[in-house]
Amino acid sequence: TMLRNTQFRGEIIKAPIPGLIYLAGGVLRCYAYKGKSRPTPETELHFAPLGNTYNNGTFCSGNVNLPREILIENIPIWQRFVLESTNTHGGGVIPLKGIKDFNELVQFYRDLSAKQAKKFPDRCLKLTEVKGKPLTLKAAINGEG
């Protein structure tokens, strides 16, 4: 969990976000995980609780050109894209339990900010599943999901 300024259309909301895992291959994928521990191959992945998110962990990139080469020096570019892009719509997935649409996602972050929450409520994360089973980090690295 870390406090971030998350950009939504017309406003910036300071609130905690969970730990994120980035997977760069043919496309950039990003998932959230629960807890503070370093992820292991068996760590279950959840949807990144952000806007512009699709079912397979990818994001709508709008007019942003992301690097396609898998190089260590590109990691900050991918992180900035996910964390600093303006969340403008819901993409293809509702990324949290207990919300119905993008407007409720924005309100979720407003509520966290109003409470001055220091920790993201992991219980709200929505599990990413493949064929009815939780997607693990190992499976995602191996191209599932």
CB crowding 80-104: b at 16 or more within 10 Å, else e = ebbbebebeebbeebbbeebeebee
Question: From first to last of its 145 residues, what are the pLDDT tens digits of the chain?
Answer: 688 888 888 899 999 999 999 998 778 899 999 998 999 999 999 999 998 888 888 888 766 677 777 878 888 888 888 888 888 888 888 999 999 999 999 999 999 999 999 999 999 999 999 999 999 999 999 988 7
Q: What is the C-alpha to C-alpha distance for residues 15 and 97, in angstroms, rounded to an integer? A: 17
Task: Using CB atoms within 10 Å of the CB of residue 18, give its burial: 0 to 12 exposed, 13 to 18 middle, 19+ buried.
Answer: buried
pTM check: above 0.85: yes
Residues 37 and 47: their CA atoms lie apart, in Å, by 18
